[in-house]
Chain A
Amino acid sequence: MYDTVIIGAGMSGLAAGIRLAHYDQRVCILERHSTIGGLNSFYRLGGRDFDVGLHAVTNFVPKGTRKGPFARLLRQLRFRWEDFALAPQIGSEIAFPDVRIAFGNGIEVLESEIARCFPAEKDNFQQLLGSIIDYDELNQEAFELSTREFLGKTLADPLLIEMLLCPTMWYGNGRERDMDFGLFCIMFRSLFMEGLGRPFAGIRLILKNLIRRFRALGGELKLRSGVDHIKVENDRAVGVVLDDGQQIEAQSILSSAGLVETMRMCEDVSEVDESRSGRLSFCEMVSVLDAQPQDVGFTKTVVFFNDSEKFTWQRPEELVDLRTGVICSPNNYGYTSEEGQLPEGIIRITGQANFDQWESLSEPQYRVQKANWYDRMIESAVRFMPDFRHKVVATDMFTPKTIRRFTWHQGGTVYGSTHKQLDGATHLANLHICGTDQGFGGIIGAMTSGVAIANHCLSRQHGFSGDRSAENNPY
């Protein structure tokens, strides 16, 4: 009998596991895949290491910073800043047809770029910053307000609105067309007020530290152990049954599998509200170059591009939407001189994709379409960056089907459900959700989600509410 069974060994599940095990719980993490990481994982192909998921760790702050989500996460998990060894970005860009706005770590570059490109919006932008700083992230009502409506009232220039929505939606929005205002604030702070970083060794380093710590605290991890269903007796979850029929008992369950996905596992739930499962998924191609990206003239860490004045964020009709995308390179970070530089150049290009379209292809058609859209995605991206095609020595690509295959997310979603459950609660008192569908964004956000919901469970178990709003909490 475990105190807590956690479904999914991604960032949020591992972080939750560390918190619970640190406070002496018997914890078991169950992962269906043969490796950890979930949406942020890694693989080896043709003798090369690849990251999947991670473009950049958002919420980056320099060593010694004590405020903000990253510093708080380090404290909660008892890690040192050096354990994540994040190197800062060298500079990113929002690229629209006639305007390019650069941004770096900290708000200063973005502020001066907006003053340069949108001088009439200078004061409005300051007002927007004020609202974003004041936003309280755990207020569910304010969370679900319309960002488009809010920006429409605060800013006058529609182009600036589109340009700010492009990166914030790209890095975390599971809703089509509009975005929850709470999520917008979280993404805006993490991208523009804090910043982007990456460990030289990639996502492996973070995952390795998480799993090592979890095990050192006595936590158990079972790979290739998918949960077929959650057993429910008298309105309480009592354990899980694995795909192979094995039963595991637990006092409480924490699921990072997704809200709809978790509801489907509950044996007492006969109808699941499918309308809340997201419709957004991605294709991403990676090109390995026999040159550094900077040598072919690509000097940005991340470029968010959109080829018209109107930014569209919805499931495309076609296999991939070529109008907007993200270009990034793990080479373009300020690594230390001891770290040096990655041996080969890597460029990744991400586009919105339609899961149903990809799913409906036969196996031979699927392979043909992958090759076809690989070419078309590069062709689209080189409108906003130097052409690098003559330097490509190896390629790989994932589609919505790949995401579905390794994460079991319905519809191959990355940013999950359109509806976020900020307190992690479900219809059962001892079943909680964490991760993408709880509501934080990015890698630090995913881990924070695991920590927050684990804290909530620990508090309940110890008989105090642990609510941030608890009157006696002096903080």
Chain B
Amino acid sequence: MTAEKIREVIIDILSDIAPDEELGDLKDEVPFRDQLELDSMDFLDIVMELRKRYRVQVPEEDYGELTSMQSTVTYLEPKMQECQ
């Protein structure tokens, strides 16, 4: 899966979690929490949805990598290479 596709996947997950958010304006380099009204419960959902949809495991020590869209995509790229 390409970086671009991974970004779409994350947007899709975010739009499921928070359907009322304007995700079109999301800035990739700005932390999610500065732009979206998400709390720790929602954050866990990003991890769980990745696991549910693509069987991607994000160990707890790597949570910090999922801070912004940019860091999330960079982090997931090697992990999701084989994903369709």
Contacts and interface: CB of A to CB of B under 8 A. Distances in A.
Interface of A: 23-24, 64, 66-67, 71-72, 75-76, 78, 80-81, 451-452, 455, 458-459, 462-466, 468, 470, 472-475
Given A71-B37, A470-B63, 11 more contacts: A66-B20, A66-B21, A72-B39, A75-B18, A75-B45, A458-B48, A463-B59, A464-B60, A472-B60, A472-B63, A473-B40
B21, B44, B64, B66 — most chain A CB neighbours (10 Å): B44
B61 A67 contact: no
B74 to A, nearest CB: 15
Contacts of A76: 41-42, 45
11 contacts: A451-B41, A455-B41, A464-B47, A464-B60, A466-B44, A470-B40, A473-B44, A473-B63, A474-B33, A474-B67, A475-B43
A473 B39 CA distance: 10
By secondary structure, the B interface counts as helix
B84 to A, nearest CB: 19
A472 B62 contact: yes
B38 A472 contact: no
A66 B37 contact: yes
B48 A472 contact: no
Nearest to A78: B16
B51 A462 contact: yes
A422 to B, nearest CB: 15
Interface residues of B, number: 30
Contacts of B17: 75, 78
B8 to A, nearest CB: 19
A452, A459, A465 — most chain B CB neighbours (10 Å): A459
B19, B41, B66 — most chain A CB neighbours (10 Å): B41
Q: Which 6 A-B pairs have the closest CB atoms?
A: A66-B37, A472-B63, A464-B60, A475-B40, A474-B67, A475-B43
Contacts of A464: 47, 59-60
B22 to A, nearest CB: 10
B52 A23 contact: yes
Interface in B48-84: 48, 51-52, 59-64, 66-67
B37, B51, B61 — most chain A CB neighbours (10 Å): B37
Contacts of A78: 16-17
